[in-house]
Amino acid sequence: MTEDYFRKTEKFIQDGWDEDDDDLYEHMTRPDHHWHNLQGNDPEIRVSDEGGIKVYLEWHIRLEDGYDFDEHVNCIMGRDPLPFQVIRSSFVNSYSVRFANEEQEKMFCPLIQADPRVESFGPVRGYAMNDEIHDEL
């Protein structure tokens, strides 16, 4: 490193730190500051002025070409009607699935993932499944 680099750093430390920086530093080192940032990245949390509200995820499924979704459902469940909501995506062989509750997610997600003809499967932000929240995340 050049000497000029170290002189710039020393000058910044001398001239650039004031009482406001102390307050900001203290705020950013508190655990609740980091939790708030993590909570905003959680796809199951809808952050609002009132705080975080857990919502159920919408799951994206992409099947291999030539594999019909009805065939997939019969393979993993063996019955109709579906206990969850399925929406055909605008992409070929892609679907969105919304479960009614967490128990359905826990029961059906491993079954969907276990099907070798599922090319991709993963969560996306979804909608709340109750009467209190109706907006998209």
pTM (two decimals): 0.49
Token pair for residue 104? 């359905």
Q: Exposure string (b/e) for 96-129, b if CB count within 10 Å is 16 or more?
A: ebbbeeeeebeebbeebeebeebeeeeeeebbbb
| pLDDT in the model for residue 115 | 87
Domains of the chain by residue range:
3-41, 54-124
Which residue has 């009482």 as its token pair? 19
In order along its 137 residues, the chain shows pLDDT tens digits of 555 555 555 655 555 555 666 666 666 666 655 555 655 555 555 555 555 555 567 888 898 988 887 777 777 766 556 777 788 888 888 888 887 777 888 888 888 888 888 999 888 764 444 333 333 33
- In whole angstroms, what is the distance from residue 105 CA to residue 43 CA? 14
Distance of CA 87 to the CA centre of its chain: 19
Cα atoms found within 13 Å of the Cα of residue 92, Cβ hemisphere only: 4
Check if the beta carbon of residue 71 is closer than 8 Å to that of residue 127.
no
Nearest residue to 59 via CA among 7, 19, 134, 113 = 113
pLDDT recorded at residue 133: 36
Q: Which CATH class is domain 54-124?
A: alpha beta
